Structure 1
Amino acid sequence: MNKLLKKLNIFQRYRKLNTKKEKKQFILMWITIFTCVFTVIFVGFCISYSINKNKSSQIQLNQYSKLEQEEINQKLNSYLHNIIEKNTEYENQNSSEDLKNDTSESNKIKIDMHENLTETNNIKIRKAINMVEKTTYAAITFDDGYNKEYVEKVLDVLKKNNVKSTFFIIGKVLDAYPEVWKRAINEGHQICNHTQSHQILTDMSSEAIQAEILGWEASAKKVFGEDYLIKMKKEFPFLRLPGGGGAKSDRVLAIAQKNGYKVIGWNLETISSVINPLKNKKTVSEISDRIEQHVVNNCKGGSIILLHFNQYDMGNIEQIVSGLRNRGFELQTISKMVK
């Protein structure tokens, strides 16, 4: 090693040179050597960087492809879900015969449950109620209840105009600010089941659906007391399905009915018909005006109107109430319309 270092001792070798020409050649030689070494190192670094960059790009591409595939899968699942929903009614027409023909022990529970709903007790599955015919009544209903400020605004408007309404409030929201909901009850409104956490029921098992319904009852009992829950189940046993999911599913409807509920839908709403098409094109005030026109002009006798506690629906809520009254509708709770 020492010998090698001595051989590479540039300065000592340079001093031993006698002529300027030799010294010049010596300097040029080492400049060339250093240039070559630096070039090799630089090229190696560039190659390494390029390889790593390509790997990183490939990883990003794979991640993007994965996300893109997930989005495609979601759209496909949604499409298939819609197809299943549309064919549910047809499938259920044949379900009773299919269950009876299957006499296996594993299917016994299914047969018993189905017959309890359709034959044994001579009970038919009730469909969701979207409106009531032959009446001058109309019902403004409110869902979810997330925004406390808007809830209080609605209660003020309804009290001022002496209107009673039916609220479908999520169980977790009942727990969040119980004093507001107690006020609603004390002022004569009805608060009914909208499940505990607002999940789409068609995506859930029967056990999970049952838990969502009973979870809401537990919250209502905690907030209002057992007497209110008993009264509700007797006088206005109404359930609204989150997002309307399951309104055509006999499985979901059967579970609701088994728990003593009538499923309430709607025939007039604002989110899909007004808000979503306009929310990126119009101001909040303009959308509220359109909602007022839409609700007042399209209401019929027996209409069940669905509104939410958002800035769009709440913008002209008092004008909606007065507009419906000016058209001759008597605004009532669902229990006044549905017997």
Structure 2
Amino acid sequence: MQPKIIAIIMLMLVLTSCGHPVEPAPTATVSAPIAENQPIEGPTPVSASAPTPTQAPVVIGPALSVSQAYNIKEHVTYSGARSNQKKVVALTFDDGPDTKYTDQILNLLKKQNITATFFVIGEHAAAHKDVMKRIISAGHEIGNHSWSHSDLTKLDEQQLEAEIDKTDEIIQSLTNQPTTLLRPPYGALTQQVVEYAEKSHKIVNWSVDSRDWEGISTERILQNIKKEVKPGAIILQHSAGGKNGNLSNTVQALPQIIAYLKEHGYQFVTVSNLISQNVPTQ
């Protein structure tokens, strides 16, 4: 019997050695996120990529820590406070001044006793100082919209500074005070643009785009505003430029826009008053 027992034991050892060894599972890791393009609002969307942080494996666990991308949107004002207690909006007009549409828009605003904010292009302001003086004397606010409407995200540091600084200089020469607002052309931003602009400006884009620059009908402009407007809205329109240089649709739509907003209890303020909540009570 002893030889049989030994044989059985030997057979069992051989069988167990035939199994496949199980390799230890690798440590679970996840790469730190790469900054994605920031969403850009405006007529011609332009990619505003934040710098890509260095990728580093991060062990999954309770103490997970990942690099945070530079969040451009945190540095931009899109609207004022959403308060139904103070239903206010800010009308804003880009790309002027000119001697045709800006004057017509000023006439309409004067008739309605409304103040607005004009984000002006520096070279246009320098060429049409009389219109600028009219904007200022009517109590409207002036903001910086670059010198030549260049995409600031595609400029080197020196070019970027010139686009902003030259426009500031012409505005201050006419208003006797610096402008504190900047709206980048196309709403396009990068970290470099934000960091330079924020030294002396608040960056202001918009929450409602009328799309008037597309040459759409007066009815569609009004529909775009009705669809998006809320208390605290910053409404984008234009006082120069437009499709094929034609902004007659804006001029025709403006009285209807004002009538609609008044009918729904809105009051009109400048951007600075809107975002500082220095607005009248109803």
The TM-score with structure 1 as length reference comes to 0.56
Task: Give the direction of change, closer, same or farther, for the CA distance of 1:83–1:148 in structure 2 (3 Å limit).
Answer: closer
**Per-residue CA shift, 1:227-272, capped at 9, x if unaligned?**
233xx3xxxx1000011111xx2221111012x101000111133x
Count the aligned residue pairs: 208
1:173 aligns with 124
Q: Does 1:162 align with 2:131?
A: no
1:138 maps to 89
Aligned partner of 1:245: which letter?
A
Structure 1 residues 83 and 169, CA, compared in 2 at 3 Å: closer, same or farther?
closer
Which contiguous aligned blocks of 4+ residues in structure 1 show a shift greater than 4 angstroms? Answer: none
Which of the two has greater helix per residue?
1
Structure 2 unaligned segments of length 5 or more: list them. Answer: 1-44, 57-69, 240-246, 277-282
Closer, same or farther: CA 288–132 of 1 in aligned 2, 3 Å? same
CA distance in 2, matches of 1:160, 1:312: 18
TM-superposition CA deviations, 1:266-285 (whole Å, max 9, x none):
111133xx764xx5xxxx6x
- Where relative contact order (Cα < 8 A, 6+ residues apart) is larger, the structure is 2
Aligned to 1:290: 220
Q: Please give the residue correspondences for 1:128-277 in structure 2 after superposition, counting only pairs within 5 Å.
A: 128-135=76-83, 136-222=87-173, 224=174, 227-229=176-178, 232=179, 237-246=180-189, 249-258=190-199, 260-271=200-211, 276=214
Partner Cα distance (1:125, 1:313) in 2: 28
8 Å CA contact retained: 2:81, 2:275: no
Structure showing greater radius of gyration is 1
Q: How does 1:90-101 map to 2 (within 5 A)?
A: 91=52, 94=53
Contact 1:138 1:332 in 2 (8 A): yes
Choose which of 254, 260, 264 in structure 2 pairs with 1:323. 260
> Which runs of no fewer than 5 residues in structure 1 stay unpaired?
1-81, 99-117, 119-123
Contact 2:89/2:268 (8 A) holds in 1: yes
Judge conservation of contact 1:143–1:169 (CA < 8 Å) in 2.
yes
TM-score of the two chains, using structure 2 as the length reference: 0.67
Deviation of 1:182 after TM superposition, in Å, equals 0.7
* Deviation of the 1:146 alpha carbon: 5.0
Change (3 A) 1:211 1:132: same
User: Kindly tell me: are residues 182 and 164 of structure 1, through their superposed partners in 2, closer, same or farther at Cα, counting changes over 3 Å?
Assistant: same
Work out the CA distance in 2 between the residues paired with 1:245 and 1:196.
15
CA distance in 1, matches of 2:225, 2:140: 21
**In structure 2, C-alpha distance between the alignment counterparts of 1:160 and 1:288, rounded to whole Å:** 20
Structure 1 residues 275 and 334: CA distance shift in structure 2, 3 A? closer
Identity of aligned residues (%): 28
1:221 shift after superposition: 3.1
Greater fraction of residues in strand: 2
RMSD: 2.6
